[in-house]
Amino acid sequence: MKSRYVVVSAALVALLSACGVIRGDDEGSKGAQAAGVTSEPCPAAVDKNKGCIYLGTVSDLTAGPFAALAVPITDAQKAFWARVNKAGGIGGTYEVDVTKFVRDNKYNPEVHRQVYNEMKDQVLGLAQTLGSPTTAAILGDLKANSVVAAPASWTSAWEFEDVILETGANYCVEAMNSVDYAMETYKPKSVMAVHLAGDYGADAAAGAKIAAERNGLTFTSVETPSGATEQGRAITEITKNKPDLVILTTGPADAATIVGQAAAAGFKGRFIGTGPTWNPALLKSPAAPALKALYEQSAPGKPWDSDTPGHQAMREALPGVTPNDGYTSGWAWAYPMKAALEKMVASGDVSRKGLLAAVKSLQTVDYEGMLPPEAGNFAGDPNAATFRQTLVNKLDDKAPTGVTTVKDFFVGPTAQGHTFDGPCYAKL
């Protein structure tokens, strides 16, 4: 009876292995493989003797406001993991596939949740989940099932979520540093935050408010909908109130409309837009002269043509593409996941819980110079671990992505002294 049971069990295991994934034993059984982990090689394996770790991607690939960034983000991550696999994979045991489970969220939280649910039992974690409100739509499930996910967004809410593997300073810090940079450079007396709703725009607006208060500046806030044809009220508020500094947190087309039409109406104040407000295609738009005159981009990382080993590796892995800092962000975001997977495999617990434990033990990450190693601290409490350095770029026709850095990684006094005890957007 016992030998028959063994034969049946062995046959069942063989059948499930042939299907590619052994499921249902992710929570604590070290002897079996977890969801999204197979002993079979990846579909495009470099070494067919290695197993495969599948990571999912849910991004804004066609219809949403960030598609121009999301497509290069996704392509850069495919190139990043191809490089990892070519170099020997993870722990000499696994390669990583980020090509089989790629879905379009159309920047719609409901679509995001739907396509995530379709893939979640077949992936170990998410190499990319694009957007703050969209990722918030699946956050409860990520936490309930210990699914680690790398976000394509920088809301300060991620500082308080163990399953979120963020890279770079959050929007709140970015806006704080922008206001402090402007204090040094332009001496403003008033600040207006023009922002989308929710934990993208409102997070930056809250940072601008905190920095304005610290610097004794007048602060106003204007929430605006997404869409280039929807910016009339924001433009009217800017031209009517004439703030010295506008912190923009919108999509690129929205930003171009706001800056271009405000300038056309005679506005001469400064704009600093968060990273996602820029796309190099704007240099060919009717708003280009106004953007060159009035706009700078704050950013959580260095642009495409920067001289670091990571940037060089990225450029070599993406020959022939039109430079875009979506590629830069996507490539940089993959380093913490690589570090966590390596620790997970080294621990012997190849499972979702093993990956989460590895994430919670990371104190530094080797970004190959793209970011300082301390940007990869996921082990400390949120206030201690929050990375607070950002950059400021100016527009440059000769630069591959239309921007060059005018202020390298820095921490302003507002961000330096701020206590992170909850997401910033909740305090706007």
Q: What pLDDT, in 10s, does the model give residues 111-161?
A: 999 999 999 999 999 999 999 889 999 999 999 999 999 999 999 999 999
Q: State the average pLDDT over residues 277-301.
A: 96
Give CA 125 to chain center in angstroms: 15
- What pLDDT shows up at residue 385? 95
Nearest CA to 198 out of 284, 112, 109 is that of 109
Task: Give me the number of domains the chain comprises.
Answer: 2
The 10s digit of each residue's pLDDT in 373-391 is 999 999 989 999 999 999 9
Does 1 score more than 80 pLDDT? no
Q: Is residue 21 part of a domain?
A: no
pTM of the model: 0.88
Does 277 score more than 70 pLDDT? yes
pLDDT cut 70: percent of the chain above it? 92
Vertex 305, ends 388 and 82: CA angle to 5°? 90
| Judgement on whether residues 291 and 419 belong to the same structural domain of the protein | yes
| Judgement on whether residues 62 and 108 belong to the same structural domain of the protein | yes
| Judgement on whether residues 124 and 272 belong to the same structural domain of the protein | no
The 10s digit of each residue's pLDDT in 325-345 is 999 999 999 999 999 999 999
Structure tokens at 197: 């709703």
| Cα–Cα dist 142/116, whole Å | 10
| Judgement on whether residues 203 and 225 belong to the same structural domain of the protein | yes
The runs of H, that is alpha helices, within 31-108 are 67-86
Burial of 229 (0-12, 13-18, 19+ CB in 10 A): exposed
Structure tokens at 130: 């694009």
The 10s digit of each residue's pLDDT in 41-83 is 999 999 999 999 999 999 999 988 888 889 999 999 999 999 9
| Cα–Cα dist 377/400, whole Å | 31
- What is the 8-class DSSP label of residue 424? G
User: What 3-state DSSP class applies to 75?
Assistant: helix
* pLDDT band, residue 24 (cuts 50/70/90): very low
| Cα–Cα dist 151/104, whole Å | 15
Q: Are 213 and 164 in contact (CB under 8 A)?
A: no
pLDDT cut 90: percent of the chain above it? 87
The 10s digit of each residue's pLDDT in 174-191 is 999 999 999 999 999 999
- Domain containing residue 322: CATH number: 3.40.50.2300
Please report the sign of the dihedral spanned by the C-alpha atoms of residue 150, residue 153, residue 154, residue 158.
Answer: negative
| Judgement on whether residues 293 and 416 belong to the same structural domain of the protein | yes
Q: State the average pLDDT over residues 252-279.
A: 96
| Judgement on whether residues 278 and 419 belong to the same structural domain of the protein | yes
| C-alpha separations of 39 from 49, 124, 390 in Å | 9, 14, 41
Q: Give the burial string for 42-63 (b: 16+ CB within 10 Å, else e).
A: beebeeeebbbbbbbbbbbbee
The whole domain housing 398 covers: 171-300+391-427
The 10s digit of each residue's pLDDT in 187-201 is 999 999 999 998 889
Burial of 348 (0-12, 13-18, 19+ CB in 10 A): exposed
